[in-house]
Amino acid sequence: MRLAVVSDIHGNTEAFGAVLNDARISGVDAMVCLGDVIGYGPEPNEAISMVCADNIPAVIGNHELCIINRDYLSKFNPAAYRSMLITIDMLSDESINFINKLEPSLVNYGCRFVHGFPPESPTTYMFELDTKAILDAFGKYEERICFIGHTHSLRLIESDGKSIEHNILQRGKTQLYANKRYIINAGSVGQPRDGDNHAKYIIWDTSNDSIEAKYISYDIDSVVNKIIKAGFPEINARRLM
């Protein structure tokens, strides 16, 4: 099986459409979304509709959490806060219904999926935790592989049960090993923050137990213009360039 894992679409339908097209060309059998379909980007309803149209299972991200718990907005920096207020005004009833049904974690295909950090936090960043906390987290769930998002950067944590190793995921394939457990950050489709403006996602191939980090080009200028026209903070556009 070839499983595509996408995260942090952030209302960027040009990027998400390009990823969906590449996933089809790449022959994926299924896809899972790690949350933050909305926020920062100009088309939150359209992004949600694309997830629903392809029946893509999704977990809740911290931006969706703001819709359910408005108190969480206070945790956002000023630009993210303003972005969420604009996004909230944009959301349709159908989109809100979709968000209200999202769970903090999903277990499928023998893997765990969560936005922030396992076992089911939509708000914890992987870089916030020290080695002991990460090893403790591995002990709180059974699955060998957990896919996460939230940081907008492709990363991999590998554990043999006694120690951990952090790695940056490079473009292309990375071999996994049956005697190791992994926390794999799928990067960001619509708001990358790793110095490379391609849309990013991951394909996990169960036949050879490897993951492939995909870098996809799309019409960035179109998204930038939509962001500015919708009144979002300019930084949301600059981050895409």
Burial (CB < 10 A; 0-12, 13-18, 19+), residue 52, is: middle
Cβ proximity of 202 and 147 under 8 Å? yes
Distance CA(45)–CA(176), nearest Å, equals 36
Task: Say what the pLDDT of residue 113 is.
Answer: 98
Question: What pLDDT, on the 0 to 100 scale, is given for residue 54?
Answer: 96
Q: Which residues pair with 31 in a beta bridge?
A: 4
Q: What is residue 59's DSSP assignment?
A: B
In DSSP terms, which residues pair with 175 in a beta bridge? 210
Question: Residue 188 maps to which CATH number?
Answer: 3.60.21.10
- Please list the pLDDT of the chain residue by residue as tens digits (241 residues): 999 999 999 999 999 999 999 999 999 999 999 999 999 999 999 999 999 999 999 999 999 999 999 999 999 999 999 999 999 999 999 999 999 999 999 999 999 999 999 999 999 999 999 999 999 999 999 999 999 999 999 999 999 999 999 999 989 999 999 999 999 999 999 999 999 999 999 999 999 999 999 999 999 999 999 999 999 999 999 999 8
Cα gap 56→66, rounded to integer Å: 21
| Count of other CB atoms within 10 angstroms of residue 46 | 16
Predicted confidence at residue 15, as pLDDT, reads 98
User: Within 101-231, where are the H helices?
Assistant: 131-138, 220-229
Question: Could you tell me the residue range of the domain that residue 231 belongs to?
Answer: 2-238
Contact of 17 with 218, CB cutoff 8 Å: yes
Surface-to-core class of residue 121, CB atoms within 10 Å of its CB (0-12 exposed, 13-18 middle, 19+ buried): middle
Query: How many C-beta neighbours within 10 Å does residue 155 have?
Result: 18
Neighbours of 179 (CB within 10 A): 7
Note if the pTM is more than 0.85. Answer: yes
pLDDT value at residue 219: 98
* Cα separation of the two ends of the chain: 34
| Rounded Cα gap, residues 39 and 80, in angstroms | 8
* Cα separations in angstroms, 241 against 107, 201, 213, 220, 223: 35, 18, 20, 7, 10
Overall domain count for the chain:
1
DSSP 215: E
